[in-house]
Chain A
Amino acid sequence: MNHLDALEAEAITIMREVVAECRSPALLFSGGKDSICLLRLAEKAFRPDAFPFPLVHIDTGHNFPEVITFRDEIVAALNEQLIVGSVAKSIATGRVVLHDVAESRNPHQSITLLDTIAEHGFDALFGGARRDEEKSRAKERIFSHRDVWGQWDPKNQRPELWNIYNARLKLKEHLRIFPISNWTELDVWQYIAREKLDVPTLYFAHAREVIERNGLLVPLTAVTPALAGESVLTKTVRFRTVGDMTCTCPVLSNAATLAEIISETAAATLTERGATRMDDQTAEASMELRKKEGYF
């Protein structure tokens, strides 16, 4: 078996195991490349059946419009059910309180996510996180336990041996399931090319207005305006991740095709998060802190 086949097989086996053992799973779909792979793996695992779970998107209200359009198109094409949890609604109802209006909504997604999980009674959520992304992810199980408060306790994880997974839960606890834990960014692109999957146009090189700030290229959007003294430049860029607009930055790139993205990824000298995320630059362990509180 070549390595993509082996990674695919592992993920399909995991998905079927979850559906067999969990009462009410759901799949977290962001419109990004990792969750696009998850959708494809769900097709591989369950077709010709409909997916035995709905898709869930946590919408910060600050998503790139191209990604929302893409999300709706792919959900329609697959003919599957999508549930949208809205951070804007959490703010309106007072569940999320922003310290100032310009603050990024990204870390607040956890509350909307946990509320959505509680509202629908989900006990297992598929996520597209990969262990190569970030230090604390490298230590996370494939079946990752969350307590009744949605918290992750990294020091007290269940041992995970062979391919035998423990999906047992108490009432109101849930699991996060990471079928593509062992994939790297390069694997994801190679899989997208092999399976001929569509991805949002943001991933391909395009001309975009950006602001240079702290070594990153901040996209010029309604929620990320230029500050006093900053100048707006037009550059040829692409995105490596497509998260919340307030914290996701593109990289300089001329890669306009999947083949070019693959070559570029293979030769990359920065990690995906380091090159593109404002939120992870602030503290050495900010991802771990967010994850402990229920983040993706």
Chain B
Amino acid sequence: MPSTNIDTLRFSTAGSVDDGKSTLIGRLLYETQGILADQLLSLEEATARHGHVSATDKIDFALLTDGLIAEREQGITIDVAYRYFTTPTRRFIIADTPGHEQYTRNMVTGASTADLTIVLLDVKRGVTMQSYRHAVIASLLGISHLVVAVNKMDLVDYREAAFTALQDHFATFISKLHFTEVSFVPISALKGDMLTTRGKHMPWYNKPTLLEILETTTAHQQQRLDALPLRLAIQRVTKAKFGVNSDLRGYQGTVAAGQLAVGQSLTVAPQQHEGRVSAIYVLKAGSTVVEEIQQAHQGEPVTVVLDRQLDISRGDMLVDTKNSKPYTGQAFSANMCWFDPSILDVQKRYWLKLNCKMVRAIVERVDFKFNVITLAEEQTNTVAMNDIVRVTIMALQPLVFDIYADNHETGAFILIDDTTNRTVAGGMIVSSRQAEP
């Protein structure tokens, strides 16, 4: 029977148009059995209709990832697609993001939940503007492991020199970014070399195949969040009766970082109330009544009851009294990616959502725009779709937050336009502008 005791790696993929990203994912799914027979059949049919492969190849793997009608008609990928495959050691979720410049926002979206990013290069075309952009976005989003897959090695007779030249060139740029781990791997997505099997053509390469890299990398983010101080944002307050003292409220939320234990002293931010955990409730596997547990770990959704009545509502944060506290304040600096066709309106009131709290906020100032190719900080007056900028944000009520680099869960936010209700930006907090922790 297949094991349930394996972990999950989420990764995103990015590449310029025609670097072979769709072919890569199609083949990865095919070779790990993520493509089933009927999909293969409809793929063969679709290949006959819209495919771009030579007559000898029955399947254009790229068509597998084009889900929407408009995508097949226009031969481009529009939106992030999520795909799944499992190997005996791990379960994988791919956020497959389109490479067109105008879809940078999808790259950011896909990378926001990823542990690792694969950037694809075409060995003949070399490094493109998009390659730089992808690497920079992955770095800004705090992805720890970057994999650079150098594709189409078959077109250069699998020569080591072609691979090394590109590696040397790109590695210099990447060294200026903030990855803890960078891997380069030569592949042919079309022929299948160095994806799930080594193939015969590149004996000179003795490091892991692409799949081996994916199977062995640590899901960094998860491990780190476990070791951080407790953060539990309250999603919902319930009046349900728990245990003996039925006056006490249950606070529901998911442990974003650290551990929660019965008896622990907690501080409620931003009010700075203090209390102790008197009970933690969950509904265990196979059971029909909620039960008390002694400890909850990072990632677990729980209901917490404290030892006294406090005024706590949605968006307040439970933190460990003795451990380092989050920031409480109304102003912060952030790196922000603008997603919307409308232009950022400085001084307009947007909705800002962070840690289960929705408040009014204004973008007080645009400090600079990142040139995502040279990494230069450029002055700008307008912020348009796909721009990545450093801004100063002022919320109209106090917020509780961490610096994104310290804690991805509690340092990220979105902005919503209150007339269209569209999500217009995603941001990562860089520093607090006034308050102390």
Do A and B form a real pair?
Answer: yes
Give chain A's interface residues, CB within 8 Å of chain B: 1-6, 9, 12-13, 16-17, 19-21, 43-49, 131-132, 135-136, 138-139, 154-155, 157-164, 166, 168-170, 181-182, 184, 186, 190, 194-196, 259, 262-263, 266, 268-271, 274-275, 284-285, 288-289
Instruction: Knowing A162-B112, A288-B69 are in contact, say whether A49-B238 is a contact too (CB < 8 A).
Output: yes
A270 touches B6 (CB 8 A): no
Q: Contacting A159 at CB < 8 Å: which of B84, B106, B356?
A: B106
B124 within 8 Å of A by Cβ? Answer: no
Known: A13-B254, A49-B238, A168-B421. A154 touches B79 (CB 8 A): yes
| A residues near B84, Cβ cutoff 8 Å | 131-132, 182, 184
Q: Beyond A166-B421, A271-B38, A274-B36, is A3–B7 a contact (Cβ under 8 Å)?
A: yes
Contact of A168 among B253, B297, B416 (CB under 8 A): B416
Task: Check B112–A17 contact: CB distance below 8 A.
Answer: no
Indicate if B15 sits at the interface (CB-CB under 8 A). no
CB–CB A139/B68 < 8 A? yes
A47 to chain B, nearest CB (A): 5
Q: Are B5 and A2 in contact (CB under 8 A)?
A: yes
- Known contacts A44-B301, A48-B290, A138-B67; A155/B81 CB under 8 A: no
B370 beta carbon closer than 8 Å to chain A: no
Chain A residue contacts of B240, Cβ below 8 A: 47-49
Contact assessment for A159 and B108 in the assembled complex, using a CB-CB cutoff below 8 Å: yes
- Tell whether B283 is near chain A: CB-to-CB under 8 Å: yes
- Could you give 7 example pairs across A and B, Cβ below 8 Å? A1-B222, A3-B4, A6-B7, A6-B299, A155-B68, A159-B109, A194-B285
Query: Do B46 and A284 have beta carbons less than 8 Å apart?
Result: yes
Residues of B within 8 A of A1 (CB): 7, 222, 297, 299-300
Question: Of A12, A168, A184, A196, which one neighbours B254 at CB under 8 angstroms?
Answer: A12
Q: Which residues of B have CB within 8 Å of A6?
A: 7-8, 299
Contacting residues of chain B (341-366) with chain A, CB-CB under 8 angstroms = 351, 353-354, 356, 358
| Interface pair A136/B301, CB less than 8 Å apart | no
CA distance A31 to B202 in the complex (A): 53
CB contact under 8 A between A161 and B109, given known A131-B82, A284-B46 = yes
The chain B residue with its CB closest to the CB of A269 is B37
Could you tell me the distance between the alpha carbons of A196 and B81 in the complex, rounded to whole angstroms?
Answer: 32
Once bound together, how far apart are the Cα atoms of A195 and B288, in whole Å?
10
CB B281 to nearest CB in A, in angstroms, measures: 8
What separation, in Å, do the CA atoms of A19 and B235 have in the docked complex? 9
Given A138-B81, A139-B67, A159 and B236 contact (CB-CB distance below 8 Å): no
A259 & B1 in contact (Cβ 8 Å cutoff):
yes
Q: Are B36 and A161 in contact (CB under 8 A)?
A: no
Interface residue from A44, A182, A259 paired with B82 (Cβ < 8 Å): A182
Give bound CA distance, A3 to B2, whole Å: 12
User: Taking CB as reference atom, which chain B residue is nearest A142?
Assistant: B82
B300 touches A159 (CB 8 A): no
Q: How far is the CA of A266 from the CA of B34 in the complex (A)?
A: 11
Residue in B67, B69, B241, B353 whose CB lies within 8 Å of A48 = B241
CA distance A139 to B94 in the complex (A): 12
Complex contact B301–A13 (CB within 8 A): yes
**B340 to A, closest residue via Cβ:** A159
Q: Are B301 and A16 in contact (CB-based, < 8 A)?
A: yes
Contact with B38, one of A160, A161, A181, A270 (Cβ below 8 angstroms): A270
Instruction: Tell me whether B67 and A135 are in contact (CB under 8 A).
Output: yes
Q: Does B39 contact A (CB under 8 A)?
A: yes
B414 touches A274 (CB 8 A): no
A17-B356, A135-B68, A182-B93 are known; give 8 further A-B pairs, CB within 8 A. A21-B358, A132-B83, A138-B67, A139-B80, A155-B70, A161-B108, A170-B421, A268-B36
- With a cutoff of 8 Å between Cβ atoms, the chain A residues found around residue B235 in the complex are 13, 16-17, 20
A136 to B413, CA, bound (A): 27
Identify which of A16, A166, A268 contacts B252 (C-beta below 8 A): A16
What residue in chain A is nearest B35 (Cβ atoms)? A271
Given contacts A47-B283, A48-B240, A284-B42, contact A181 B109 (CB under 8 A): no
- Chain A residues contacting B36 (CB-CB under 8 Å) are 268-271, 274
Which residues of B are found within 8 Å of A166, using beta-carbon distances? 353, 414, 416, 421-423
- Chain B residues near A262: list those with CB within 8 A: 1-2
A contact residues around B289 at 8 Å (CB): 47-48
B388 within 8 A of A: no
Which residues from chain B contact A170 at a C-beta distance below 8 Å?
Answer: 421
- Chain A residue with minimal CB distance to B425? A159
Instruction: State how many angstroms separate the Cβ of B73 from the closest Cβ of chain A.
Output: 10
Q: Select from chain A the residue with minimum beta-carbon distance to B6.
A: A3
In whole angstroms, what is the CA distance A160 to B353 when docked? 12
User: What's the Cα separation between A269 and B252 when bound, in Å?
Assistant: 41
Bound-complex Cα distance A207 to B241 (A): 48
CB of B25, distance to nearest CB on chain A (Å)? 11
CB neighbours (8 Å) of B69 from chain A are: 285, 288-289
Cross-chain contact of A160 among B2, B5, B423 (Cβ < 8 A): B423
Which residue in chain A gives the minimum CB-CB distance to B413? A164
- Give the residues in chain B near A135, CB-CB below 8 Å: 66-68
Question: What's the Cα separation between A166 and B339 when bound, in Å?
Answer: 14
Measured CB to CB, the closest approach of chain B to A113, in angstroms, equals 22
Closest 9 CB pairs of A and B: A274-B38, A135-B67, A12-B301, A161-B112, A168-B421, A161-B426, A266-B2, A138-B81, A196-B286
A129 to chain B, nearest CB (A): 12
Known A138-B67, A155-B68, A161-B112; contact A4-B4, beta-carbon cutoff 8 A:
yes
